[in-house]
Structure 1
Amino acid sequence: MLHSRVGRVTAIAGLLAVLFVLMIGLGTITPTPAMGDYPGGNSLAQHPDSYVGESVQVTGTVIGTEPVETTVGYEYAANGEYHSGTFTITVRNVGTAVTEGESLQVYGTLGPELTVTAENSVSVPARNYAAMYLVSALAGFWTLGRLVCGWRLDWQTGALCRREEPLRPIQALRTRMQEVRA
């Protein structure tokens, strides 16, 4: 089946359909604390009063340290309308020192007026995100380079074939430009 172009296109279309169904299906699941899925920013933005006294888990950016306040983003659709934005949560009993701009993930009990009494919290400095994106970009470029140097696309069959002799990076770039021009 996967040896023909029709078979490969059919397999790709089938996998994309499964991905779409899973994305829609899992995107509509409501929080289930018994399964470890606690209400978060989207749920609190829709019905904040219905979760008072219950365990919640929110992640936001620290905007104040005395008391600790975070902005939490939300996105949800209700009654055919799309809602997005941010709201502020006051966090009590934060076990670690935090500074403005850090990302703070808090697990705790929701109180009145969007106040969370933290049972556990984790802060992530803002510079960690920049380092994460930089390392991910470098890894992506390295992988792309390895792919271009060691493999080629057979345009007639639509298959990815291993090169008989892998190219050096500069040689691969020249060859790729010649293939595109041809």
Structure 2
Amino acid sequence: MSEPYGQLGRVLAGLALAGLLVGCVVLAGATPGGPLESDYPTEVEVTPDAESYVGDQVILGGFVVDTEPVVIATRASGYGQFTLVDADDQLRAGTGPLEEGDRVTAFGTLADDSTLLVERTVTRESSETGYMLVVSALGGLWVVGRVVRHWRFDRTALAIVPRTGDRGDTPTDETDRRTQSRARAGGERRG
């Protein structure tokens, strides 16, 4: 079976795809702002200089350190504590009132340097992140295992080709089937 563009065509296609990948990375790095950025300041900007954001709408994320009233710490060390007014009433994702240790993201207006008037609160269980990572890792390992088991790199053709015969896989075309049948018949005669 002949290839329409041959080995040189494969190499050129690989180089073109690699060039496109590099171009996309450079283009993404050159655009102002990231896809996850918002127009509102986050805890990164607000925590060190909260006084300058009083009266502004902000997004604060952190862990609940107290529930009466709801207080979050934006830093793992406990630094950057903000009281969330009406956090439980504005809870959008969650099963009930906030508890100590919950990861919370709150949007609202900063009333003073340590109080947020909450318009929307979202919480996420820490087990959700762990579940996502474990499932992704298992899926990735399954795909890698399937690729390694059913495909191989052919150095002479500089191509990835299906494995045939050496692991009990079924041949992909009639010629391979006939070749394997002859090999088996020859082996039975010798034995």
Structure 1 match to 2:42:
40
Once residues 48 and 9 of structure 1 are traced to their aligned partners in structure 2, the CA distance between those partners, rounded to angstroms, is 50
Q: Which amino acid aligns with 1:56?
A: V
- Flag the structure with larger Rg: 2
**What secondary structure, in the 3-state scheme, does the structure 1 residue paired with 2:41 have?**
coil
Gaps of 5+ in 2: 89-95, 169-191
Deviations 1:73-101 (A, max 9, x none): 5xxxxxxxxxxxx6333212112411222
Structure 1 match to 2:80:
87
Structure 2 match to 1:118:
118
Contact 2:65 2:101 in 1 (8 A): yes
Once residues 156 and 54 of structure 2 are traced to their aligned partners in structure 1, the CA distance between those partners, rounded to angstroms, is 62
In structure 2, do the counterparts of structure 1 residues 116 and 151 end up closer, same or farther at CA, with 3 Å as the change threshold?
Answer: farther
Once residues 36 and 53 of structure 2 are traced to their aligned partners in structure 1, the CA distance between those partners, rounded to angstroms, is 13
Q: Which of 19, 22, 31 is matched with 1:16 structurally?
A: 22
Q: CA RMSD in A?
A: 3.6
Once residues 111 and 15 of structure 2 are traced to their aligned partners in structure 1, the CA distance between those partners, rounded to angstroms, is 53
More strand by percentage = 1
* CA apart distance, 1:30: 11
Deviations 1:105-160 (A, max 9, x none): 21211221132111111222222222222222222212222222333333455544
**What secondary structure, in the 3-state scheme, does the structure 2 residue paired with 1:99 have?**
coil
In structure 2, do the counterparts of structure 1 residues 160 and 105 end up closer, same or farther at CA, with 3 Å as the change threshold?
Answer: farther
In structure 2, do the counterparts of structure 1 residues 103 and 10 end up closer, same or farther at CA, with 3 Å as the change threshold?
Answer: same
Deviations 1:43-69 (A, max 9, x none): 324653443222222322222222322
Identity across matched positions, percent: 26
Once residues 59 and 140 of structure 1 are traced to their aligned partners in structure 2, the CA distance between those partners, rounded to angstroms, is 30
Once residues 37 and 52 of structure 2 are traced to their aligned partners in structure 1, the CA distance between those partners, rounded to angstroms, is 13
Paired residues for 1:25-174 under 5 Å: 25-27=31-33, 33=39, 38-45=40-47, 48-72=50-74, 87-95=80-88, 96-156=96-156, 158-164=158-164
**What secondary structure, in the 3-state scheme, does the structure 2 residue paired with 1:128 have?**
helix
TM-score, normalised by the number of residues in structure 1: 0.64
Gaps of 5+ in 1: 74-85, 169-182
* CA apart distance, 1:16: 2.1
Once residues 83 and 53 of structure 2 are traced to their aligned partners in structure 1, the CA distance between those partners, rounded to angstroms, is 15
Structure 2 match to 1:83:
none
Once residues 165 and 49 of structure 1 are traced to their aligned partners in structure 2, the CA distance between those partners, rounded to angstroms, is 72
Once residues 67 and 87 of structure 1 are traced to their aligned partners in structure 2, the CA distance between those partners, rounded to angstroms, is 16
